[in-house]
Amino acid sequence: MDARLHEAAREGDMELLTSILEKNNPPDLTLSLTPQKNTALHIAVAFGHEQIVREMIDREPFLISQPNSNGDTPLHIAAKAGHLSLTMLLITPLEERVRWREACASALKMKNSDGYTPIHEALKKGHGEVAVHLLRFDGDIEAADDVSDAGESLLYLASEAAGLSYVVSMMLHRGNFSTRGPDGQNPLHIAVITGNEGYYYDDNFWIRFRIRMQIRILRVLMSTEPSLAYKSDNEGNYPLLIATIEAPFEAVEIILGYCPDSAELVDRRGRNALHLAVLKNRVSTLDSLIKRPEFKMLINQPDYDGNTPMHLATQHNYDKIVELLLTCKGLDLAAANKEGRTAMDICGYTTKQRSIHDKLKGCGARPSRQLWREMLLMPSPPPPRAPELVSISSNTEAVINTLSVVTTLVATVTFAAAFTVPGGYKNDGVDEGLPYGI
């Protein structure tokens, strides 16, 4: 790119730009590129020079849809930066700019190398007004059906961004927007996930403000499209189940308020909201759930392994959870899982487990028939061998061996003595070998 053209676009020097473009053999704006293939319009938009932008698109409107090496058009750049006035300038469909419309329509639908259109980029960065303006540009442009290469619909991205409840509301009332999200999620999933309770009680004002905005988006989604509550993601998780373990209880209340029967939804392991609240040891959430009428009939519901919420509470030694569940009317402490175990059977013998055992016993819990049967059929161990007997047996064997050796030695000596002649034998001369005295 010509250095003077680059300077004019970067600095917003209108006089310099005019002198460059009006001289003999002016540079072709579509061919004057930086190493990353940015045009002078890309540069002017990035630096927010509205007058320079206007001059360039008056001379060459198709610069609007010319991408750089990352696939970003000048409209992508404006949308990412949240430059509303530049966005309006680039796509405003005025009659005197009718020749721009083809370039604008093309730029609006173009995806960059990340798979995002300018509208996607505006929503991802939380620039709601820019997104609304882009969406209103032309009813013939089917931007509503645009899904990013990552599987994110416009409504999904709007639901993820904080403070864009008015954008979500506008999309829902137009009624032609996709609800697709990555991994089978829908906008309700992401609204719940980004309303994480870990941030809900943070002391930072802006974080708390963001969560309040997400709760507002959740209300908009449920009031307009409650069917989203009955759609699971690819992992079998429903929005209510995610809200139970990740969001403030207000999110759970909103979903149940519009869809009370969603309390019966379970994940791939057959676990409902009560099971999950127990597993995550969310005492306050469980306390609120068991007080709601939707869960009165679910307190004894087993998962696919036959475990009730009480089974899981005793299995993980959650004594406060056990105390809460024991307050529930209709609690069945005799319920057995697929292994035939009751909640009491699962209790161990550590201090905490004994405490839980005593609480269950105090409420009338008893061991299962299966446990009694196993104890009765268990074979008795053989009686241990007395150490004293082992010692005596070992000593006796040693004594016997010693006596045998002594007896053999005595017999040998006696035999030798019986055949020995008194005085001995001659050992030399012609009489060698004859006894003395002969």
- DSSP state letters, 39-57: -HHHHHHHTT-HHHHHHHH
Residue-level pLDDT at 409:
47
Contacts of 43 (CB under 8 A, 6+ apart): 6, 9, 10, 34
Whether 419 shows a pLDDT value over 80: the answer reads no
Residues 45, 48, 53, 54: is their CA dihedral positive or negative? positive
Instruction: Sort residue 437 into left (φ over 0), alpha (ψ -120 to 50) or beta.
Output: left
Q: Alpha-carbon distance 298 to 6, whole Å?
A: 69
Q: How high is the pLDDT of residue 225? A: 94
pLDDT value, residue 287 = 96
- Which has the higher per-residue pLDDT, 422 or 92? 92
Q: Tokens representing 75?
A: 């409209």
Q: How far apart are CA 197 and CA 285, in angstroms?
A: 11
Residues sharing a CB contact under 8 Å with residue 179, sequence separation 6 or more, in sequence order: 153, 155, 156, 186, 187, 225, 228
Per-residue pLDDT, averaged over 159-169, amounts to 87
Look up residue 228 and give its amino acid: L
The CATH fold assigned to 1-116 is 1.25.40
Among candidates 41, 29, 187, which has minimal Cα distance to 107?
Answer: 41
For domain 282-376, give the CATH number. Answer: 1.25.40.20
The radius of gyration of the chain from alpha carbons, rounded to an integer in Å, stands at: 44
Structure tokens at 166: 């008015």
Q: pTM to 2 decimals?
A: 0.77
Please tell me which of 38-42, 138-142, 404-408 the model is most confident about, judged by mean pLDDT: 38-42
Look at residues 307, 185, 179 and name the one whose alpha carbon lies nearest to residue 237.
185
Closest among 18, 99, 2 to 52, alpha carbons compared: 18
CATH class name, domain 144-265: mainly alpha
The first and second tokens of residue 259, run together, are: 């869809």
Mean model confidence pLDDT for the chain: 83
CA 26 to chain centre: 57
More confident residue, 412 or 291: 291
* DSSP conformational letter for 385: P
Using a CB cutoff of 8 Å and minimum separation of 24, what contacts does 362-368 make? Answer: 363/326, 363/333, 364/333, 365/333, 365/334, 366/333, 366/334, 366/342, 367/342, 368/334, 368/336, 368/340, 368/341, 368/342, 368/344
Which strand (E) or helix (H) includes residue 233? none
Q: What is the pLDDT of residue 119?
A: 93
Q: What is the mean pLDDT of residues 363-372?
A: 69
**Band of pLDDT at residue 135, cut at 50, 70 and 90:** confident
Ramachandran quadrant class, 101 (left: phi over 0; alpha: psi -120 to 50; beta: rest): alpha
- pLDDT tens figures, 377-386: 555 555 666 5
Tokens in use for 233?
A: 């993601």
Closest by CA to 211, choosing from 193, 225, 224, is 193
Rounded-to-integer distance, Cα 434 and Cα 413, Å: 23
Segments of the chain assigned to CATH 1.25.40.20: 1-116, 144-265, 282-376
> Does residue 295 contact residue 289 with C-beta atoms inside 8 Å?
yes
Q: With 0-12 CB in 10 A as exposed, 13-18 as middle and 19+ as buried, what is 261?
A: exposed
Contact yes or no for 305/335 (Cβ under 8 A): no
Q: Cβ contacts of residue 28 below 8 Å, gap of 6+? A: none
- At which residue do the structure tokens 């089978």 appear? 184
Q: What is the pLDDT of residues 249-281, one digit of tens each?
A: 999 999 999 999 999 999 999 999 999 999 999
